[in-house]
Structure 1
Amino acid sequence: MNDTIKQGKTAAIVSYITIVGTLIALSMNSEPKNEFARFHIRQAFGLWVAFFALAFLVSFANSLYATFGFYIFFMILLLYGFTGALAGKKQTVPLLGKYFQQWFSFIS
């Protein structure tokens, strides 16, 4: 495992632990900036933004099945990103991961 991954691994892992964890990881990565941590912070930030936006929409469905399915789907994506950070891999989350890297390029 190279030094960049080793140094950024803690911030990358913390970023997936709630939206507050993402904000903490942002401050952890402010100086020195680490590319591996930045990648996972963008992924986690995108997941949390998508979660809150879609949760708002799913709440209008007023369906227990839709809500349960949404939470299961979100947890799978979150675990996918989290395990990638644990393994030291830069793997985008399915569906929107590559867009998160573009949309949240302001996270540096």
Structure 2
Amino acid sequence: MGRSYIFLILAIILEIIATTFLKKSEQFTKLIPSIITVIGYVATFYFLSLTLRQIPVGIAYAIWSGVGIVFITIIGIVVFKQTPDLPAILGIVLILIGVIVINLFSKMGSH
């Protein structure tokens, strides 16, 4: 199971990079950020597919998207000077709580 979580971490990191460069690509008008975006997403889904060998898709996707949302929000704040409002912060907190509940209490996966 440990390898699957390594693949999941790689998928999350690559998705964060790809999404950050998606913003920097300015609707695919800048070549280098566009290339990084496409390569990043392809690699993301490859590693996510490896994750699904052992981790149920619902749990893997919850972790992948939840962690990704948090880090992309932080990058948005720091790099792009985007300030989330209170409803956005509350929504992110609820997503994180959901990921934690799934991982601590779900019998769906053997993790």
Q: Structure 2-normalised TM-score?
A: 0.33
